[in-house]
Structure 1
Amino acid sequence: MRIAVDAMGGDDAPKAIVEGVMLAKKKFPDIEFQLYGKEAAIRQYVTDETNLTIIHTDEKIDSEDEPVKAIRKKKQASMVLAAQAVKAGHADAVFSAGNTGALLAAGLFIVGRIKGIERPGLMSTLPVMTGNQGFDMLDLGANADNKPEHLLQYGILGSFYAKNVRGIANPRVALLNNGTEETKGSELTKKAFELLSQEPSIHFIGNVEARDLLNGVADVVVTDGFTGNAVLKTIEGTAMNIMGVLKEAILSSGVKGKVGALLLKDSLHDVKGKMDYAKYGGAVLFGLKAPVIKTHGATGPAAVATTIQQIHTMLTTQVVSKLVSHFEEEVDKVSQ
C-alpha cells in the first residue's frame, strides 16, 4: 500500500512529519511512503530509506492561503502533488497536517467524490470519559450548510467506518439535536431523523444531546458541518482549559498541593489521556474515492505515526471500496 504524504504541511514540518513516518515504518513495512516537499529539508530527518521516495518541490500551501485559489494556482505544491498521485493511481491515500480548507478542496477537486455522495463530510474519532472506545462524529466542518439527505449519508459513512476501521460490530448511530424526543429540533434535524430511522443499513438510536456526547451514548454522531465544527472546538477548548485550571491550582497551592499532585500523577496522566483525541488518528474527509486524512497542524511525530496506522487500517479493510460499491448500488436502484 502506498501513502502520499504532504511533508511540508504543519507547524513543525517537515521534521514532525518525517520523524512520524520513520516511527510508522518500523511498524508497517508493507507501506510505501511518498514524501512530497523540499528534498534537502526532508532528507535530514530520514533514517531509513527503504520503501520511501522523496518527490522534490519548492512550492507549498501556507496556512493563510485561500484554499480553493491555492489548489488552483499552486499546481506544484506538495499537497496538490500528493493528491494528484492518488488520482493518477500512483498512491492509495493522501495524508497532510497542512491547511485544512486546502486539503478539503484537493480532496473534492482532485481525488473526487464517490458516485452517489453529494457532500463528503469531515470526520474524527473523539474521546469519551468512560472506556476507551470513543465515537465518530461528522460533519466537523467540511460543509457549513447541509440538507437532510447529507445527514443520512453521514450516518451511513460513519457506520461503515466504525464497523470496518474501529471494529464495532453494530455501531449505534445518533443524530445530534437539542433534545432526545423525536419531535425536537429544526426542520433539518426533523427530516434527517425521519430518513435515518428508515435506513436499513444502520443501527439508528435516535437523538442525542451535546451534553451526553462524552458519556459514550453513541458510536457515531451525525450533524451539520457548522454545528459539528462548533462542538469540536468546544470540546477542544474545554479539555485545554480543564488541564490549565488543574495546573494553575496545583502550582498556586503550595507544598501540600504539589505533594498531592505528585501522589495523583498517574491519575492526572490518565485524565489527560482520555481528553487526547489525537490518539485516535486524524480527521477523515469521508465520501471520496480514496482516503484523505488531515491531522492537527501542531501534531508531533507520535500523532503522525498514529494517523498512519489509521490509514493502514482503512486500506487493509478496504472501507472506501466497500463504500463505493454500496453507493453505486443505491444510485443504480434509483436510476432503474
Structure 2
Amino acid sequence: MYKLSIDAMSGDLGSSIVVEACSAFIKDHADVELHVTGKKEELEKLTHHERIQIVDARDVVPMDAGIMSVRRKKESSMVKAVTLANDGIVDGVVSCGSTGAFYTSAMLFLKRIEGVEKSCLMAMLPTYNKKGVVLLDVGANAENTAEQLKDFAIMGHVYAKNIRGIQKPKVALLNIGSEAKKGDEVHQQTYQLLEEDKMINFVGNIEGRDILLGEVDVIVTDGFSGNIALKTCEGAASVLMKMVKESMMSSLSGKIGALFAKSSLYSLKDQFDYKSVGGALMVGFEKAVVKAHGASDSKAFYNAMELAYQMVKMDVVTQMKEGLKVS
C-alpha cells in the first residue's frame, strides 16, 4: 500500500478542492492510503473512506512565512503533513501552499538524500513538439556550485528516465551560448563535470530561446536563472494567448475564423495549462515531495497527487540515490 500525506489547508481555494480531489483519487487507486491534514470539520466528507486517515491540524502556515515562523507552526496542516513523511508514516507529501514555506518545511523536517548538498525544485514545461521538458532548479536556491548542478542533472536524468519513460534522456545546461566556454566560471566547471559523467547523456549548453522547442529532455540551471526562465515562459504563453484572442475578436472575419479554429485554440491553451502538469517536485529529499500550484482546482490537485503517487510507486528516490552514488 502506497501512503501519501495531503496538506488540505494551505492553498488559495481552501480545503474543498482537496476534499474533492482526494475522494476521486482514492476511488481510482486501490493501492493508496491517504493521510489528510487539516481542520477535521472541513474534511468530514472524507471520514467514510476506510483508506483515508484524517489528521486534525488547526493552524495554517502563512504565505510569507520565514524559517522561524514555519518552525513555530508545528500544528499547521503543512508541517504535520511533512512530519508524517519524516516519521516514516507516509512515502510522499503533497501541498499547494506557499513554495517558500513548503520548501522551508521540507528543509526543517525532512532528511535530504545522503551526499546531496542542496535539494531543488523541478518543474515540467510544455514544449513545441509536445514532449515537454524538465527544468531544475526553478527557484529553491539563489545560487549553486558546479557540483550541486551536477547533482541536479543526475536527479533530472533519473526522473526523465523512470517517470517519463525516456530511455536515454538528453540533458542540457542553460547558458548564454552554445559553446563550451560560454558563461561564468561555475557554468564552465559544470559543463566539464557533466561532459565527464558517463551516466548521463549530456548534449551541451542550451540558450533561453530554445527552452520550449523540446529538443532536450532535461535542462539544468541555478535556482535564480531557472525561476526567471520559468516565469518568463509562463508570462510569454499567457500574453500570446491574450494577443491571439484579442486579434481574432477585433473584426467580424476574425470572429468567424475563431469559430472554425475553436478546438485548435482550446488544444493550445490546454497544452500550456498548469492544471494538467500537476505540480513541481522538490527533489533531493528522502521522500517524494510535490508542490501543487497555489491556485489549484480539484483537477490540478488530483494531478499533483498522481505525480507523487508515481514517484513513490516507481521508487524514484531510491534510484536517485543510486545514481548519485555511481556518479
TM-score range (shorter-chain normalised) is over 0.9
The residue that corresponds to 1:15 in the other structure is 16
Q: Which amino acid aligns with 2:89?
A: H
Q: Which amino acid aligns with 2:75?
A: Q
The residue that corresponds to 1:228 in the other structure is 226
The residue that corresponds to 1:120 in the other structure is 119
* Aligned equivalents of 1:187, 1:274: Cα separation in 2: 36
Superposed, 1:127-206 pairs within 5 Å as 127-131=126-130, 133-206=131-204
The residue that corresponds to 2:75 in the other structure is 76
* Aligned equivalents of 1:269, 1:328: Cα separation in 2: 45
The residue that corresponds to 1:91 in the other structure is 90
Is 1:213 paired with 2:205? no
Is 1:242 paired with 2:240? yes
Report the 3-state secondary structure (helix = DSSP H, G, I; strand = E; otherwise coil) of the residue aligned with 1:124.
Answer: strand
* Aligned equivalents of 1:185, 1:48: Cα separation in 2: 57
Deviation at 1:310, TM superposition (A): 1.2
Is 1:257 paired with 2:244? no
Gaps of 5+ in 1: 331-336
Deviation at 1:17, TM superposition (A): 1.6
Report the 3-state secondary structure (helix = DSSP H, G, I; strand = E; otherwise coil) of the residue aligned with 2:160.
Answer: helix
* Aligned equivalents of 1:34, 1:143: Cα separation in 2: 29
The residue that corresponds to 1:333 in the other structure is none
Classify 1:278/1:198 alpha carbon distance in 2 versus 1 (closer, same or farther; 3 Å). farther
- Give a deviation string over 1:188-235, Cα, whole Å, max 9, x none: 111100000011110000001111111112100000100000001101
* Aligned equivalents of 1:221, 1:329: Cα separation in 2: 21
Classify 1:308/1:172 alpha carbon distance in 2 versus 1 (closer, same or farther; 3 Å). same
Report the 3-state secondary structure (helix = DSSP H, G, I; strand = E; otherwise coil) of the residue aligned with 1:204.
Answer: strand
- Give a deviation string over 1:261-317, Cα, whole Å, max 9, x none: 111001101111222244222111101000111011001111111111111111111
Report the 3-state secondary structure (helix = DSSP H, G, I; strand = E; otherwise coil) of the residue aligned with 2:4.
Answer: strand
Q: Which amino acid aligns with 1:61?
A: V
* Aligned equivalents of 2:194, 2:19: Cα separation in 1: 42
Q: Retained in 1: the 8 A contact 2:274–2:300?
A: no
Q: Retained in 2: the 8 A contact 1:7–1:17?
A: yes
Deviation at 1:329, TM superposition (A): 5.9
* Aligned equivalents of 1:173, 1:112: Cα separation in 2: 27
* Aligned equivalents of 2:104, 2:65: Cα separation in 1: 12
Report the 3-state secondary structure (helix = DSSP H, G, I; strand = E; otherwise coil) of the residue aligned with 1:283.
Answer: strand
Q: Which amino acid aligns with 1:280?
A: V
Report the 3-state secondary structure (helix = DSSP H, G, I; strand = E; otherwise coil) of the residue aligned with 1:4.
Answer: strand
Deviation at 1:247, TM superposition (A): 2.2
Q: Which amino acid aligns with 1:271?
A: L
Deviation at 1:48, TM superposition (A): 5.7
Segment drifting more, 144-153 vs 236-245: 236-245
Percent identity of equivalent pairs? 37
Segment drifting more, 269-278 vs 112-121: 269-278
The residue that corresponds to 2:266 in the other structure is 269
The residue that corresponds to 1:334 in the other structure is none
Q: 2:309 aligns with which of 295, 308, 312?
A: 312
Q: Which amino acid aligns with 1:110?
A: F
Q: Retained in 2: the 8 A contact 1:23–1:301?
A: no
Q: 1:300 aligns with which of 285, 293, 297?
A: 297
Deviation at 1:42, TM superposition (A): 2.1
- Give a deviation string over 1:226-261, Cα, whole Å, max 9, x none: 0000001101111111112222223332x3322211
The residue that corresponds to 1:25 in the other structure is 26
Segment drifting more, 309-318 vs 138-147: 309-318
- Give a deviation string over 1:58-116, Cα, whole Å, max 9, x none: 111121322x1222111111110111111111111110000111111111121121000
Q: Retained in 1: the 8 A contact 2:154–2:324?
A: no
Q: Which amino acid aligns with 1:50?
A: E
Q: How many residues align?
A: 326
**TM-score normalised over the length of structure 2:** 0.96
The residue that corresponds to 1:54 in the other structure is 54
Classify 1:102/1:225 alpha carbon distance in 2 versus 1 (closer, same or farther; 3 Å). same
* Aligned equivalents of 1:292, 1:203: Cα separation in 2: 26
Q: Retained in 2: the 8 A contact 1:179–1:185?
A: yes
**TM-score normalised over the length of structure 1:** 0.93
Classify 1:261/1:225 alpha carbon distance in 2 versus 1 (closer, same or farther; 3 Å). same
Q: Which amino acid aligns with 2:68?
A: K
Q: Which amino acid aligns with 1:250?
A: M
The residue that corresponds to 2:5 in the other structure is 4
* Aligned equivalents of 1:149, 1:87: Cα separation in 2: 26
Report the 3-state secondary structure (helix = DSSP H, G, I; strand = E; otherwise coil) of the residue aligned with 1:264.
Answer: helix
* Aligned equivalents of 1:48, 1:270: Cα separation in 2: 38
* Aligned equivalents of 1:161, 1:197: Cα separation in 2: 19
Gaps of 5+ in 2: none
Q: Which amino acid aligns with 1:325?
A: E
